Homo-oligomer: A and B are copies of this chain.
Amino acid sequence: MKHVYLDHAATTPLDKRVLGAMKPYFSKKFGNAGSLHLFGQEAREAVEKARESIAKAINAKPEEIVFTSGGTESDNIALQGVMRANKGKGKGLVTSVFEHPAVLRTAEKLEKEGFEASYLPVTKQGFVELQEIKKFLKKETILASVMHANNEIGTIQPIEEIGKLCREKGILFHSDAVQTVGKERIDVEKMNIDLLSASAHKFYGPKGIGFLYAKQGTKIYPLMHGGGHENGLRSGTENVPGIVGMEKALEIAVKEMDEENEKLKKLRNKLIDGCLEIKNSWLNGVREPRLAANAALGFDFVEGESMILMLSDKGIAASTGSACSTKSLEPSHVLRAIGLPHVKCHGSLRFTLGRATTEKDIDYVLETLPGIVKRLREISPLGGK
């Protein structure tokens, strides 16, 4: 059976070149980067070289990069760590209603601790509004956290402007850039970002590794205590192959970004246009500014999970929006946030394209999907066909 993977926002395959870069660090240069001896020094060197290169890729300083186990941990350190360390200043956290659960659940946890979180609304088009943000940022606010691009609908937020507003008010600004690192240009200086989260497996790097950028001087408490690694911010033996792999993956992604995005956008638009030929369908969020790889669609009268499984039976991997392990019954909070009525939220289908995606893949989806929607509409009591 033909296999067409269109769920790159959930995770990506490890790039062969990345695995190649990692290989020496598995069984040969395998030392603990905390060890003094030659094996340790070799590992330490690799870690610091990777740190430098990653810092450069987002215009940060090496000492501003903290290696973590992934996007979730980065988000958690940023939110929990900054709020707790800056308690003296106030108790406000501003974030948006359509953040990833790694931010939203952490914000809720902080609320239970006595912090006050407020949640920015988003427009029907899928954006937070600067006018709104101005209203939300208070003297008491310690931190604002707005994602760079939304993982479900792919809309890219005006980060630079949000950062500017925060700077003006002396409020720290975190951006969950898990969906954009390696896919959109990031310049933490220019974009006025104080903290930024990334996860390697989203840009063809290994799973289990990510990083947090934290501007020099930002007060943060660690989540985990121990050997004092990463300047005390993240204890635990360094995942050297993971770090090396993340660096290589980011290097490749940045180098190939423009060309890749151009290709992806063409294929993505073809996919969107083709899907919209199915009656009673729509695109979630606007086309621009949107991640080049994201096609988030909706189909009336059918339910997303059923579409996913029928597509999967045809070898096509898609998603209803996010790949969380809590299969909650609630319809997507993102789609609700952009004002979609409940029933339409249930009919959502997200395709996210990637490096290996070909025009043939898109053709195959466009051949396959209409029949699936039709079949499900036949057995659906909705729509009154």
Interface residues of A (CB under 8 A from B): 3, 5, 7, 10-16, 19, 26-28, 30-41, 69-73, 75-76, 100-102, 105-106, 108-109, 199, 201, 206-209, 223-230, 232, 235-242, 305, 308-309, 311-312, 315-320, 322-326
A27 engages B16 (CB within 8 Å):
yes
A242–B38 CA distance with the chains assembled, in angstroms: 26
A236 engages B73 (CB within 8 Å):
yes
B26 engages A19 (CB within 8 Å):
yes
B10 engages A207 (CB within 8 Å):
no
Instruction: Contacts A72-B226, A207-B238, A225-B106 given; indicate if A10 touches B34 (C-beta within 8 A).
Output: yes
A269 to chain B, nearest CB (A): 23
Closest-by-CB residue of B relative to A209 is B208
Q: Which one of B105, B207, B238 contacts A242 once the chains associate, using CB atoms below 8 Å?
A: B207
A209 to chain B, nearest CB (A): 6
Q: Closest 3 interchain pairs by CB?
A: A208-B239, A228-B326, A102-B226
A37 engages B227 (CB within 8 Å):
no
Q: Which one of B27, B75, B108 contacts A19 once the chains associate, using CB atoms below 8 Å?
A: B27
B36 engages A312 (CB within 8 Å):
yes
Q: Which of A39, A208, A227, A232 has the most CB of B within 10 A?
A: A208
Instruction: Contacts A101-B235, A228-B324, A235-B72 given; indicate if A37 touches B206 (C-beta within 8 A).
Output: no
Instruction: Contacts A199-B237, A322-B227, A326-B228 given; indicate if A14 touches B30 (C-beta within 8 A).
Output: yes
Besides A14-B27, A102-B224, A207-B238, 10 more A-B contacts (Cβ < 8 Å) are A10-B32, A34-B325, A37-B308, A40-B317, A72-B226, A76-B224, A105-B228, A106-B225, A228-B325, A230-B325
A343–B27 CA distance with the chains assembled, in angstroms: 36
A180 to chain B, nearest CB (A): 17
29 inter-chain pairs at a CB distance below 8 angstroms, sorted by A residue, are A3-B38, A7-B31, A7-B37, A7-B40, A10-B34, A10-B237, A13-B28, A13-B30, A16-B27, A33-B325, A34-B325, A35-B323, A37-B309, A37-B317, A72-B235, A72-B236, A76-B224, A102-B225, A102-B226, A102-B235, A106-B225, A106-B226, A201-B237, A207-B237, A207-B238, A207-B242, A227-B326, A228-B324, A229-B325
B7 engages A69 (CB within 8 Å):
no
Q: Which one of B26, B223, B238, B305 contacts A13 once the chains associate, using CB atoms below 8 Å?
A: B26
The interface residues of chain B lying within 8 Å CB-to-CB of A76 are 223-226
B69 engages A227 (CB within 8 Å):
no
B28 engages A227 (CB within 8 Å):
no
Closest-by-CB residue of B relative to A7 is B35
A12–B43 CA distance with the chains assembled, in angstroms: 13
Q: Which of A14, A15, A226 has the most CB of B within 10 A?
A: A226
Instruction: Contacts A10-B34, A36-B305, A38-B312 given; indicate if A105 touches B235 (C-beta within 8 A).
Output: yes
The interface residues of chain B lying within 8 Å CB-to-CB of A27 are 13-16, 19
B16 engages A32 (CB within 8 Å):
no
A240 engages B317 (CB within 8 Å):
no
The interface residues of chain B lying within 8 Å CB-to-CB of A241 are 14, 206-208
A316–B38 CA distance with the chains assembled, in angstroms: 8
